[in-house]
């Protein structure tokens, strides 16, 4: 019987000829990622070793990546002390894939992993972050786990008792209309599936829209797959994956492309006509509360956010800069831009995008998660409305339960920043 991509990856990772959905196995881990929550992982890791008489030691420091991004620079002495503890642990264990608060190596974890070539097609990747699903864009089986689960990975080097998930196949064909982006596609899919429609399953993306989509767009689709409840999203590796890895991530080694078998069995098959899509907006307070942008009449906004592991990439910044060049942000509106990595920031500087954004009134911030999770760098006041290219709009997500968050693409965000209301880009300021 044929296997899906994830089934093939897990068969390979456990040295088996064939696996099927429902099998329970324990694959070796190729890459384990944590950010500031490594502080809790370290605590649980030490708890695991207590009383065993063994010396705490990670199974393979070369397979662990630690990135500071959620609270950079530290918003409190408590966080700074957590970061210090992690820094000491990294040095002690000899973890070299460490990205501190520095402009020569820093960024958001889900941009650093692809950018630095840490992910390969066929890898099993885990991360203490639910958006670890992002790396399925490079053909890896990549999923989020909790801190104690990660402590067991650090100790044993394997993922314990993994049940092979079923796979939903989504086939996307057709060319995007003007102003429609991968963010609109995934918002549409989440709206269709619902916040739990893909629970415990993997989404495998197919179709010519996907084949023609650069890795930067595939990262968006896989990043937000978790918002439909998916264990992960995955785009079978192809020539575009190879191009990205060779040209943008500087990968020199052999790359193995893993495709699903022709007779693979899927839980369900969904088809999407991309040519019919229009810009989408996820409305408060769930990600599956998706509406077409043109149906939102006169929704005033106070804070626009462009950035995050979802939409902080160079093409996102480029599309915003092109819309806002020589124009001014609407009165009373503030806009924050968080490039997803310092490499992207420096490229955007070179291309003049940062100048265009700053001249329009946008506040360009340091790469990091910023206000996405309501910690710092852009709180909302009572009754305020944010329009954001981030990935969650739960009540209180951006720090204030009396605030409202709408999610959209960078094109909608930039167009709306100029008008002060949620705007259909085709009707925007010209």
Partner 1 sequence: MSKVILKLGDDISTDAIYPGRYMATVLPSETPQYAFADNSEFNSKARNRVFATGSIIVAGNNFGCGSSREQAASTLKGYEFHVIAKGFARIFLQNAINLGLKCIVCPDIDASEGDVLELVGNTIHNKTNGKKFETVPLPKSRQSIIDAGGLVAYTKMRLMGREPLNSAVNPGMIE
Binding site for partner 1 (CB under 8 A): 24-26, 36-37, 39-40, 43-44, 47-49, 51-52, 54, 70-71, 75-76, 78-79, 82, 128-130, 144-149, 151-152, 155-156, 160-163, 195-196, 199-200, 229, 231, 286, 373-375, 392, 394-397, 399, 401
Residue 199 Cβ vs partner 1, minimum distance, rounded to whole Å = 7
The length of the chain, given as a count of residues: 430
CB of residue 19 vs partner 1: minimum separation in angstroms?
Answer: 12
Please report how close the Cβ of residue 322 comes to partner 1 at its closest, in angstroms. 32
- Nearest distance, CB of residue 6 and partner 1, angstroms: 14
From the list 151, 127, 113, the residue with the least C-alpha distance to 35 is 127
Comparison of 155 and 234: residue with beta carbon closer to partner 1: 155
Q: Which is nearer to partner 1, 53 or 332 (CB)?
A: 53
Rounded to a whole number of angstroms, the minimum distance from the CB of residue 422 to partner 1 is: 22
CB closer to partner 1 out of 195 and 351: 195
Placement of tokens 């309501």 in the chain: 374
Residue closer to partner 1 by CB (options 44, 426) is 44
Q: Please report how close the Cβ of residue 29 comes to partner 1 at its closest, in angstroms.
A: 14
Using the minimum distance from each CB to partner 1, give the nearer residue, 62 or 81. Answer: 81
- Please tell me the distance from the alpha carbon of residue 179 to that of residue 191, in angstroms, as a whole number: 19
Shorter beta-carbon distance to partner 1: residue 230 or 422? 230
């Amino acid at each position: 019987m044929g296997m899906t991509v994830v089934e093939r990856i897990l068969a390979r990772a456990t040295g088996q000829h064939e696996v099927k959905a429902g099998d329970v196995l324990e694959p070796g881990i190729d890459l384990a990622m944590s950010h500031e929550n490594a502080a809790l992982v370290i605590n649980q890791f030490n708890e695991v070793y207590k009383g065993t008489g063994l010396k705490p030691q990670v199974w393979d420091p070369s397979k662990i990546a630690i990135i500071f991004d959620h609270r950079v620079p530290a918003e409190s002495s408590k966080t700074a002390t957590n970061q210090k503890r992690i820094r000491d642990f990294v040095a002690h264990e000899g973890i070299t894939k460490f990205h501190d608060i520095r402009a020569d190596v820093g960024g958001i974890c889900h941009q650093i992993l692809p950018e630095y070539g840490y992910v390969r097609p066929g890898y099993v990747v885990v991360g203490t972050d639910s958006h670890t699903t992002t790396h399925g864009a490079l053909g890896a089986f990549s999923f989020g786990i909790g801190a104690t689960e990660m402590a067991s990975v650090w100790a044993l080097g394997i993922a314990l008792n993994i049940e092979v998930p079923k796979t939903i196949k989504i086939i996307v064909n057709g060319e995007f209309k003007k102003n429609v982006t991968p963010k609109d596609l995934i918002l549409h899919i989440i709206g269709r599936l619902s916040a739990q429609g893909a629970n415990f399953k993997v989404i495998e993306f197919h179709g010519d829209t996907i084949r023609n989509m650069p890795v930067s767009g595939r990262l968006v689709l896989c990043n937000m797959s978790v918002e439909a409840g998916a264990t992960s999203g995955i785009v079978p590796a192809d020539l575009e994956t190879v191009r990205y890895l060779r040209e943008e991530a500087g990968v020199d080694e052999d790359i193995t492309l893993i495709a699903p078998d022709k007779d693979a069995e899927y839980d369900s098959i969904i088809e999407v006509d991309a040519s019919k899509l229009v810009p989408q907006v996820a409305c408060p307070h769930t990600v599956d509360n998706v509406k077409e942008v043109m149906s939102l009449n006169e929704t005033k906004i106070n804070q626009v956010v462009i950035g995050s592991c979802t939409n902080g990439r160079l093409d996102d910044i480029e599309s915003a800069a092109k819309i806002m060049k020589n124009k001014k942000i609407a009165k009373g509106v503030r806009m924050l831009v968080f490039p997803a990595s310092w490499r992207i920031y420096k490229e955007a500087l070179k291309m003049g995008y940062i100048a265009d954004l700053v001249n329009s009134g946008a506040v360009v911030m340091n790469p990091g998660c910023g206000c996405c999770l309501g910690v710092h760098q852009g709180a909302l006041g009572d009754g305020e409305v944010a329009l954001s290219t981030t990935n969650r709009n739960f009540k209180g997500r951006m720090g204030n339960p009396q605030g409202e968050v709408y999610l959209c693409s960078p094109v909608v965000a930039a167009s709306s920043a100029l008008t002060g209301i949620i705007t259909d880009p085709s009707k925007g300021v010209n």
